[in-house]
Amino acid sequence: MHATRSPRRPRGWWRHGVVYQVYPRSFADGDGDGTGDLAGLRARLPHLAALGVDALWITPWYRSPMADGGYDVADYRDIDPAFGTLDGAERLIAEARALDLAVVVDIVPNHLSARHPWFLAALAAPAGSPERARFHFRPGRGESGALPPNDWRSEFGGPAWTRTTDADGKPGEWYLHLFTPDQPDLDWNHPAVRAEFESVLRFWFDRGVAGIRVDSANLLAKDPALPDLAAVADGSPHPYVDREELHDIYRAWRRIARSYPDERVLIGEIWIRDGARLARYLRADELHAAFNFAFLASPWEADRMRETIDASLATADRAGAPASWVLCNHDVTRTVTRYGRADTSFDFATVAPGIPTDLALGTRRARAAALLTLALPGSVYLYQGEELGLPEVEDLPPHARRDPVHFRSHGENPGRDGCRVPLPWSGQEPPYGFGPADTRPWLPQPGNWAPYTVEAQEADPGSPLWLYRRAVGLRRSLASLRDGAFRWIEAAEDVLAFRRGDELVCAVNFSARPQPLPAGHTVLISSEPAGDGTLAAHAAAWLVPSPPAGPGRPRGHTSTDGNPW
């Protein structure tokens, strides 16, 4: 039986709520085949409810050969058998809703799987056929057509073109793929492509999903001339990034979202740094929100973080959209590892193996970052395992690796498997409750993850899980964290401090020495013990004004000499 619709879900969860990203393959395995699935996720929904999040975003769960972890979709209207069934997905959506959790699904419109019926039909059809017109097929260059049609490179390394073989066995046309050859790009000038994705949106909205994450949202439109990048003049539009035609596509999608009586939301994956360009996707008749990758990419330094926060709030203001805060996802190095390095910024181009890492430092900083992030105005996106302080797994054996990024870089880039290792839930050894006792997870878990399990952390009030649960809970219950105006307040060097509303102060110490806390305040929550009126090194705290002092009761912390507050 399906759970009944709950009227309690607050409108605007996407404006100030916390969204938890589920990578289903690695979340929880219900049937013990080593791959996470919907049964596992459904059984673990209480963990998400206890964490206090408002929504879950589930990365692709559709039928897929898994050439890119499911971002190679063979059927947008069915669930991959490794994960479960469509009926199971509908039950999950209903059960989540009964727990006040909105469900966001991931739609991949730039490309589909090379095993999708459209692409199989295109390969079987001759050059110039209508079947090929839904993709970017072109003859090669050079006398025998042996050179790719242009100089575009795949986002994952290597050329963005692959040559096909004709029915007679001779080399044929080339097709475009901005990612792997298993992910042919669709031609968004084709009306059937637009119609198909509009129908897919309705399919999932009709099944009760509250939102859609739009994969690679700024790459769909291509210059039909497919010019060489080297030939594009400075200042001219890029032939495939952030093109004007995209906005019309998203206006049509917004009309679909608006055609539902309750709120349906579109969230864009848009990797562009320029805030003014990003804001254009967030106009009132386009996407509702976009991930804030500038925040994710920023180094953990007070000045840089402050600049990024200011720029992000300005972008959101300009667009009338909520700001969003993201530190981690299934594509990037896990936060505690990245923050334990000399260079704490993130850039796909610089991901490399063997970078010296101080995990204890990274963990302190990530705890502080959790309190910073959860105190900012807007929505917060957490990636599964972030609430456990999981580190990146950097020593996966070569035979275990699956990520095409690793293989296409010929091993130079470790790829993204290290942030996708199955979650530890309980017990002392793999599979740590990820699945039944004899489960062999699809990526091996480290032998030292016992302290990271949900079970171990539930028993430890000093654990990341307790910190996240308390902070997310406070964020839900304190009106100032939902609606309170944001205002920086003066603080010592290497400390960022801001007020939300009239009451709440968030202070973050980026330095390696303790810093004084403001006088007259009481600590609500802190990422490290804060008992003596100081904020520990690499720590953050939320404070509220102390109640008026009664006889014999000191007012909050005593001010120290040189206290800047």
- Our CB check for ligand GLC shows the closer of 71 and 565 to be 71
The pattern of x and - marking residues 316 through 335 that bind ligand GLC according to CB under 6 A reads --------------xx----
Q: Cβ 155 to ligand GLC, closest distance in Å?
A: 7
- Our CB check for ligand GLC shows the closer of 216 and 526 to be 216
Which residues ranging from 101 to 120 are in contact with ligand GLC (CB under 6 A)?
Answer: 108
Phi first, then psi: what are they for 522, rounded to 5°? Answer: -115, 140
Q: What is the CA radius of gyration of the chain?
A: 24
- Our CB check for ligand GLC shows the closer of 179 and 205 to be 179
Which residues ranging from 56 to 75 are in contact with ligand GLC (CB under 6 A)?
Answer: 68, 71
Q: Which of 216, 218, 373, 413 binds ligand GLC (CB under 6 A)?
A: 216
- Our CB check for ligand GLC shows the closer of 54 and 68 to be 68
Rounded to whole angstroms, the Cα distance separating 240 from 281 reads: 16
Q: Cβ 317 to ligand GLC, closest distance in Å?
A: 27
Give the residue closest to ligand GLC by C-beta: 71
- Our CB check for ligand GLC shows the closer of 64 and 312 to be 64
Each residue of 308-322: b (16+ CB within 10 Å) or e?
A: bbebbbebbeebebb
Rounded to whole angstroms, the Cα distance separating 120 from 272 reads: 33
Q: Which of 98, 9, 115 has the alpha carbon at shortest distance from 45? A: 98
- Our CB check for ligand GLC shows the closer of 74 and 108 to be 108
C-alpha separations of 189 from 180, 241, 278, 449 in Å: 21, 15, 22, 49
276 contacts: CB under 8 Å, gap ≥ 6: 315, 318
C-alpha separations of 151 from 54, 194, 239, 370 in Å: 44, 27, 12, 42
Rounded to whole angstroms, the Cα distance separating 339 from 361 reads: 7
For the chain, what percentages of helix, strand and coil (3-state, to nearest 5) are there?
Answer: 30, 15, 55
Q: Cβ 329 to ligand GLC, closest distance in Å?
A: 7
- Our CB check for ligand GLC shows the closer of 173 and 331 to be 331
Q: Cβ 269 to ligand GLC, closest distance in Å?
A: 6
- DSSP for 56-94 reads EEE---EE---TTTT-S-SEEEEE-TTT--HHHHHHHHH
Q: Cβ 68 to ligand GLC, closest distance in Å?
A: 5
Q: Cβ 59 to ligand GLC, closest distance in Å?
A: 7
Using the Cα atoms of residue 40, residue 45, residue 51 and residue 55 in order, give the sign of their dihedral: positive
Q: What is the DSSP letter of 422?
A: P
Give the count of residues interacting with ligand GLC (CB under 6 A): 9
Q: Which of 13, 119, 137, 179 binds ligand GLC (CB under 6 A)?
A: 179
Which residues ranging from 224 to 283 are in contact with ligand GLC (CB under 6 A)?
Answer: 269
The pattern of x and - marking residues 130 through 169 that bind ligand GLC according to CB under 6 A reads ----------------------------------------
Binding site for ligand GLC (CB under 6 A): 68, 71, 108, 179, 215-216, 269, 330-331
